Amino acid sequence: MFNVIRIPALKDNYIWLLRKGAAAAVVDPGDAAPVLDVLAREGLTLSAILITHHHQDHQGGVGGLLEHTPSVEVFGPERESITGVTAPLRGGERIRLASLGLDARVIAVPGHTLGHLAYSVGQRLFCGDTLFGGGCGRLFEGTPAAMAESLAKLAAFPDDTLIHCAHEYTEANLRFALAVEPGNRALRRRADEVAVTRAKAMPTVPSTLALEKATNPFLRCEEPEVVAAARAHGAGADDPVAVFAAIRAWKDSF
């Protein structure tokens, strides 16, 4: 098996470091410095970088890491411009992280950006800015239909899948979720627990897919209360894409 280290970076990003023995891989290194600090402290050698999408806070540290270890393999979206990528991916591939003895499944999840990828490694899903704790990413490039389909792909994973998103957005996302679905008791419990966690400056991720399916409105677009809220905020139909589009647009101005 392998371990995962959460590395806080920038304002509210998380870089995820996978380690097995002395070998390491990182997901979405928006800043090289905190990664280099962990590698040095733990005596690890970086062998692979996995990028979910092109935004600077997810790939801005690649150059600095390659200066330190030039032989690192860099996986990333073929459809996006990311300096340093040596293994361009489209989704559907299985890649080998040889030094860690791990395989990763690559999933195309367009919506936040057109080429956005997620990586499934064992029980863990590294999903960048597609699925967050209690929320989902903004639609900077994709359509509501594309993002809804991408979220449906992730929702099809086993319920015990650990969701490793790239930002500490959970508390704010749950405030919106409560506006969408105030009658959801599981959501209220989660919001209370997260408030306590954040008051202690502790992280709220990873979460489980089961928890997201029970409390995240963007995975609950067929629930009657979510549909009603979407209708009240401009949804012209009750189908999941129309509901998703309405609540995503509402979240943008919440």
| Residues carrying an active site annotation | 53, 55, 57-58, 112, 129, 167
Q: Looking at 169-216, which runs of residues are DSSP E strands?
A: 207-208
Other Cβ atoms within 10 Å of 210 Cβ, number: 13
In 3D space, the residue among 167, 165, 180, 174 whose CA is nearest the CA of residue 243 turns out to be 180
Strand order in the sheet with 102-108: 94-97, 102-108, 117-121, 124-128, 162-165, 207-208
Contact 103, 113 (CB under 8 A): no
DSSP class of residue 158 equals -
